[in-house]
């Protein structure tokens, strides 16, 4: 058969087909990259929700152990007496029995967690740490390890330094009621130290500042366990930025509103004064 003049024959393995294949590959790569960029926020959000859910479960287990301890000890709350003075952090001011003694800034392993009074009721060191907590502890030989603890227990639950009349038994908790009285909560990784979370009623002298700062690692929020056993996620109006211990809440961006919201989860000034008065009468 005669061939038409000027007709081109395809060249197998030639540069024309190779060039087309390269363009196609580049198009596929660009499409995949675009899809990845579009899906990345969703993937990150999914990961954050998974970590937040795991953190809530850790707090739920801690609170369950807290309740079982009280049942085993005739209504008495787990001790919470390992305390640093927020103004002076060189050494603890109290080294009594504690649900979890130690300093989260210094502890390089879970040995202090295992020494805690609560550990026999929850024998998993990993549960004492939030999976979203990126805080680390430096090792003497160099390098660092993840923090072993991310949670603190409210000072109003069986803490016994002078001038602080906290609740010592489950049956005493009425202001706020157990479903509104928080126990364990996420603590800011830059400000965590001893195992207590200090916050005072706004009428008191110490009630004008954050003694400890809650975390914001869960979508600008923190997880809180409550005495009755349930766990909540609280989203903050303002970013939580640790500057120093005993830092006043900012009033221009919602930080003060968050501060007052947390104060609803501790005893009122009236209850504190009444309990302090009864304690003083009992010591006479």
Give the model's confidence band at 92: pLDDT under 50 very low, under 70 low, under 90 confident, else very high. Answer: confident
Answer whether residue 11 is part of any domain: no
Residue 210 has pLDDT above 60, yes or no: yes
Q: What is the pLDDT of residue 35?
A: 78
- Residues 6+ away with beta carbon under 8 Å from 89: 193, 245
Q: Which two tokens stand for residue 203?
A: 């009428």
Q: What is the pLDDT of residue 89?
A: 61
The residue with greater pLDDT, 10 or 131, is 131
Mean pLDDT of the region 13-30: 67
Give the model's confidence band at 282: pLDDT under 50 very low, under 70 low, under 90 confident, else very high. Answer: very low
The CA angle 196-167-158, to the nearest 5 degrees, is 40
Range of 249's domain?
40-282
- Structural domains in the chain (count): 1
Q: What is the pLDDT of residue 186?
A: 97
Q: What is the pLDDT of residue 19?
A: 55
Among 11-20, 69-78, 190-199, 245-254, the minimum mean pLDDT is found in 11-20
Closest CA to 201 of 173, 176, 229, 224: 176
- Residues 6+ away with beta carbon under 8 Å from 53: none
Q: What is the pLDDT of residue 24?
A: 77
Answer whether residue 10 is part of any domain: no
**231 bridge partner residues:** 225
Answer whether residue 35 is part of any domain: no
Within 118-268, strands assigned E span 136-138, 144-146, 151-154, 182-186, 196-197, 221-226, 231-235
Answer whether residue 27 is part of any domain: no
Answer whether residue 13 is part of any domain: no
Closest CA to 185 of 55, 35, 30, 72: 55
Q: What is the pLDDT of residue 85?
A: 81
pLDDT one-digit tens code per residue, 177-192: 999 999 999 999 999 9
Answer whether residue 186 is part of any domain: yes
Q: Which two tokens stand for residue 143?
A: 């390098």
Spell out the long-range contacts of 171-175 with Cβ–Cβ below 8 A and sequence spacing 24 or more.
171/75, 173/227, 174/271, 175/267, 175/268, 175/270, 175/271
Mean pLDDT of the region 273-281: 70
Q: What is the pLDDT of residue 26?
A: 80
Q: What is the pLDDT of residue 91?
A: 75
The CA angle 192-215-155, to the nearest 5 degrees, is 55
Q: What is the pLDDT of residue 283?
A: 40
Closest CA to 242 of 260, 266, 217: 217
Answer whether residue 26 is part of any domain: no
Give the model's confidence band at 156: pLDDT under 50 very low, under 70 low, under 90 confident, else very high. Answer: very high
Answer whether residue 115 is part of any domain: yes
pLDDT one-digit tens code per residue, 160-177: 765 578 999 999 999 999
Q: What is the pLDDT of residue 32?
A: 79
């Amino acid at each position: 058969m005669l061939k038409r003049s000027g007709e081109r024959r395809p060249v197998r393995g030639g540069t024309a087909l190779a060039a087309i294949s390269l363009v196609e590959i580049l198009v596929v790569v660009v499409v995949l990259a675009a899809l990845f960029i579009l899906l990345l926020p969703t993937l990150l959000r999914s990961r954050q929700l998974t970590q937040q859910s795991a953190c809530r479960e850790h707090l739920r287990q801690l609170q369950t152990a807290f309740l079982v301890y009280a049942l085993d000890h005739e209504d008495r709350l787990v001790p919470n007496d390992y305390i640093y003075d927020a103004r002076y952090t060189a050494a603890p001011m109290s080294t009594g029995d504690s649900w979890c003694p130690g300093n989260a800034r210094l502890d390089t392993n879970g040995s202090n967690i295992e020494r805690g009074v609560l550990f026999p009721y929850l024998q998993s060191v990993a549960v004492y740490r939030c999976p979203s907590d990126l805080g680390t502890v430096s090792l003497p030989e160099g390098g660092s390890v993840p923090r072993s603890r991310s949670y603190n227990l409210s000072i109003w639950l069986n803490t016994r330094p002078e001038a602080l009349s906290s609740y010592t038994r489950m049956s005493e908790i009425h202001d706020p009621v157990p479903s509104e009285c928080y126990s364990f909560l996420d603590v800011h990784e830059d400000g965590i130290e001893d195992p207590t979370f200090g916050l005072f009623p706004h009428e008191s002298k110490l009630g004008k500042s954050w003694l400890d700062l809650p975390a914001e690692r869960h979508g600008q929020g923190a997880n809180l366990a409550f005495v009755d056993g349930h766990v909540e996620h609280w989203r903050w109006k303002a970013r939580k930025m640790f500057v120093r211990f005993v830092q006043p809440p900012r009033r221009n961006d919602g930080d003060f509103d968050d501060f007052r919201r947390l104060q609803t989860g501790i005893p009122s000034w009236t209850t504190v004064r009444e309990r302090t008065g009864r304690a003083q009468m009992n010591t006479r």
